[in-house]
Amino acid sequence: MIRIQRLVLGLLFVVGLLLAAAPGPAKPRNVILLIGDGMGPGLVTAAGIRSGEPTHMERMSVTGLLRTAIADTLPLDSAAGGTALATGVSVPNGRVSTSADGAILPTILEKAQAAGKATGLVTSGSLVQVPAACFAAHVANRSAKKEIAAQLLDSRLDLLLGGGRKHFPKTEGWRLLDGIEQVGTLARGRTLGFFERPEVDEPAEPGSYLTTSSLVQGALSFLAPARKGFFLVVVHDQIDQAGHKQLPEAGLQQVLELDAAVGVCRRFAQESKDTLVVVSADHDTGNLTLESGTPSQRQVKLSYSTSRHTGNPVPVYVEGPGSGGFTGTYDQTELPRRILRTAGLER
């Protein structure tokens, strides 16, 4: 009997190893790129300490660092950082997916669209703000919000969720949402939802605005039925706001909110088994420092050394098919190239 039990246990162990080693898809069918505007590595570390366990970002299978000190100007603004992530090209500050000589730079979202994938853009800030606008608009200056809004409406994206309603006086050709629960699926047609929220230092009642994870959940349910898969870009803006206003506790809470959205995406990816999830930042804001604390008791004292952007590297966290190709330290402009290559979207 003992021998039989040992044999059964041995067989179960071997089966487990075979299942664990079973190859997944060679390339992802879906891609989700999440961007923490202004999120440096220190904030992610602090978020893990405060929550008492590693963040979803820290639990992802591959980590790396992106060099942001790559352009002629140091540090990058959100237009140049967003353009680097969206197009793989380094441009002067202020430009939105256009080169220094005015040429239009195709974005990874546009390339996914051209390949037949459903596409979505979600932001916790205004849709006309950078870095979000860098994925679907092309202007010489980030302040051209009217032109950015017009280009977003003229884009062939399937889903737009974010703030900035005042910049969109006309919305012909789009199905407007009154609430995220109405998002439905792709079959409903091109969908636009405006969801405003206060600045980080403005008072707000709990539940008075939708969190990024709520917007992401709606976007995933909308895009999931896509026959050829989807490409979703998510931007969380308020981390940058906290850095500029030197509010470290607010910055920490904003990273935790983004991390909750990362958790939603990870669960979707683990169920679908064909989704690549990438998390990074356009630049670091504030150079957050962990001054002191007792991590075992979830205590940490934080401070910003500046209210401006820095040239510090930013983290990248990746999980899903092809994620092994994202490890290491490399230029920020390399990240979108690796995403395109991994997803088979290079042209």
* Residues annotated catalytic, as ranges: 78
Q: How many Å is the Cα radius of gyration of the chain?
A: 21
CB contact at 8 A, 52 and 298: yes
Tell me whether the omega of the peptide bond preceding residue 131 falls within 30 degrees of 0, making it cis. yes
The Cβ of residue 313 has, within 10 Å, a number of other Cβ atoms equal to 20
Reported in sequence order, the residue ranges of the chain that DSSP labels E, i.e. its strands, are: 30-36, 62-67, 118-126, 159-163, 175-176, 191-194, 230-236, 275-280, 284-285, 288-294, 299-304, 309-310, 314-319, 328-331
Closest CA to 252 of 37, 39, 34, 35: 39
d(CA 38, CA 314): 9
C-alpha torsion 325→76→302→57, nearest 10: -20
**Residue-wise burial string across 198-233, b where 16 or more C-beta atoms lie within 10 A, e elsewhere:** eebeeeeeeeeebbbbbbbbbbbebbbebeebbbbb
The Cβ of residue 12 has, within 10 Å, a number of other Cβ atoms equal to 10
User: 320: which 2 tokens?
Assistant: 């899903």
d(CA 66, CA 291): 24
d(CA 45, CA 315): 11
Tell me whether the omega of the peptide bond preceding residue 75 falls within 30 degrees of 0, making it cis. yes
291: helix, strand or coil: strand
